[in-house]
Structure 1
Amino acid sequence: MRIRATVAAVSGALALSALAVPSAQAVDAPSFRDAAAAAIEADRNAPAQRSTFAAAAAVGDLDVSFSGLKIAAAVKVGTTNKVSTTVTYKITHGADVDIHSDDFATGPYIYKGSYEQPVNLLLGDNPATCTSTSATTATCKGKIDVYPAYDELINSDAGTWKAGGLALNYATEEFADQGAMGSTKVQRISRLTVNASPEPVKKGKTITVTGKLSRANWETHKYHGYSTQSVQLQFRKKNSSTYTTVKTIKTSTTGQLKTTVKASVDGYYRYNFAGTSTTPAVKAAGDFVDVK
């Protein structure tokens, strides 16, 4: 699975031995992100367990299970800036599991592909915070932190990811891992521009409306044109708050947009993209045209 380089270097069964000391107690101990990724990878690499995985069942020796996970419908990621999204869930644990101990940590994660063999995995930098609701239950809140500048994602990762929960005991090296608790879309942020000209224009004359639809490329860390996508040209009169669709056109192979309309009254033109499963919807800011 692809994980940020600093995490991927810690893998296999040997990595679990690093969980023995919490990072707060040892300078060289792994961060929560590293420890959680190592536990998941070692778990997935254990041949004896792999054939027994059930997509929604908790595995591991730690007596913790997860339920009620909630995550945003979409996580929109650009080319360089860190993106975080909050996840809430509930845990049920054995009476002998002290979730408030320094040795205990839990957090959410999302994965692309199957639970047994994910092609990519995203976690949070820090463990979730949990509030006990009874002697054996708690509500937890954690984050998924995404760093596109560190090559955590490639373009084919865009789309639907599933969510899971993990709990670790640093002292005993036990863990609990549960997948298929929810889903979200990890999307490539989109941008859309518009320019209507000439300005001003005589009534009845032709207005040319140009623009460009682009989206984040996670491999080049730049924005590239989104080709052959349907985009609506919309218009609203000067004193109106409502846009109406004039026509629908498609972007070129480089994401360019260009069409013409007849000038009638003063107003604003904009392009509107409805979005896809891999790319969020976006609207350009309206460009005003003064009709004489």
Structure 2
Amino acid sequence: MRMRATLGVVTGALALSALAVPAAQADEVEGDTAISNVVVNGGKAAVVGSTAKKTITVSFTVKDNSGVDWAQAILFHGANIDSSDSGAVANSSDGRAKCTVVNSTTSNCKSTFDLKPGYNLINKVAGTWKVWAIAAGNDADYVQKDNAKSFQVQRASKLTVNASPEPVKKGKTITVTGKLTRANWESGTYSGYATQSVKLQFRKKSSSTYSTVKTIKTNSKGDLKTTVTASQDGYFRYGFAGTSTTPAVNATGDFVDVR
């Protein structure tokens, strides 16, 4: 069995279409070929900014009693590869993985992929992506896995904080403002992340540990604003726990001198 896959541009995103391949909604196996140990981007989410492409690596192990002939992985977003709304093929000239022989039955295979804002990344495809993979042995045995591994592709986040006035008298009111933004892959900028829970945290001047003062939500533009009573010197920051589409982020602490 031989399989090739191509990408076509559809409304700014990439849609995957398989050529000369049976429907790929389920795993297939013929013989003893096996794929294992799939690792995407070192096991971390792929966090992509507003404009620069991010290149990630997918590695996996292939075994076959006759030895490994070839292997290929494709990244996609959607329920399955046939109904995907975005994806990426490997950067190699033929789309296949580079496989290094370990022994007579085993090879370690690796491919790199480019994730590009405005090309195969638009805002709605942030979240869970999957690895479709196929490998063949020298005896024509093969295995095809519709979801060899799931991983997260996320819109990079930024968080700011400003506590004022500085300095401030003890017992007076401190106003703490800030903004939570994330990469907008369609506009090439950072946009406010609305209605998200964010923690206001404080650490004493003499401490290295932050504690949560209260939790508030961003407004429709991603802005944050709340007040606290000045009690002692220290640092205020906002902390965002993250979502499936956007990574966690902490603002750099802003020092307040309480007199």
Instruction: State the TM-score, normalized to the length of structure 2.
Output: 0.82
Matches of 1:144 and 1:58 in 2, distance apart? 25
The one-letter amino acid of 1:120's match is S
Q: Equivalents in 1 of 2:241, 2:212: separation in Å?
A: 12
What are the within-5 Å matches in structure 2 for residues 1-292 of structure 1?
A: 7-8=7-8, 41-43=17-19, 49-50=22-23, 53-57=24-28, 65-71=34-40, 72-93=43-64, 95=66, 98=69, 106-115=71-80, 116-126=82-92, 128-148=97-117, 150-166=118-134, 177-292=144-259
Instruction: State the 1:123 CA deviation.
Output: 3.0
Unaligned runs of 5+ in 1: 1-5, 10-36, 100-105, 169-174
**Corresponding residue for 1:102?**
none
Query: Tell me, what secondary structure is at the counterpart of 2:244?
Result: coil
Q: How much has 1:284 moved relative to structure 2?
A: 0.3
2:158 counterpart SS class: strand
- In structure 2, relative to structure 1, the CA distance for the partners of 1:271 and 1:244 (3 Å cut) is same
- For the aligned residues, what is the CA RMSD? 2.9
Q: Which amino acid aligns with 1:194?
A: V
**Residues in 1 aligned to 2:162 and 2:237: alpha-carbon distance in whole angstroms:** 8
Deviation for aligned residue 1:176: 7.2
Larger fraction in helix: 1
- Find the aligned partners of 2:229 and 2:38 in 1 and give their Cα distance: 52
Partners of 2:68 and 2:61 lie apart in 1 by 15
Deviation by residue 1:217-256 (Cα, 9 ceiling, x = unmatched): 1111111100011000000001100000000000000000
Q: Which has the higher strand share?
A: 2
- Work out the number of aligned pairs and report it: 240
3-state secondary structure, aligned to 1:42 = strand
Q: TM-score, normalised by structure 1?
A: 0.73
Structure-1 separation of matches of 2:36 and 2:88? 19
Q: Is the 8 A contact 1:108 1:143 kept in 2?
A: no
Q: What is the deviation of 1:57?
A: 2.5
Confirm or deny: 8 A CA contact 1:56 1:181 kept in the other structure: no
Runs of 5+ consecutive residues of structure 2 not aligned to the other structure: 1-5, 137-141
- Partner-residue secondary structure (3-state), 1:242: coil
Read off the aligned partner of 2:26 and give its amino acid letter: A
Letter in 2 for 1:280: P
Identity %: 50
CA distance in 2, matches of 1:97, 1:199: 66
Query: Quick one: distance in 2 between partners of 1:249 and 1:188?
Result: 22
**For residues 83 and 232 of structure 1, what CA distance do their matches in structure 2 show?**
29
Query: Contact 1:88–1:142 (CA<8 Å) still a contact in 2?
Result: yes
SS of equivalent to 1:202: coil
Separation in 2, partners of 1:58, 1:82: 35
- Provide Cα deviations, 1:166-209, integer angstroms capped at 9, x if missing partner: 469xxxxxx97532111001111111000011111111111110
CA distance in 1 between counterparts of 2:152 and 2:132 reads: 14
The 8 Å contact of residues 62 and 68 in structure 2, kept in 1 or not, is answered as no
Q: How far 1:107 sits from its partner (Å)? A: 4.3
Note the C-alpha offset of 1:94. 7.0
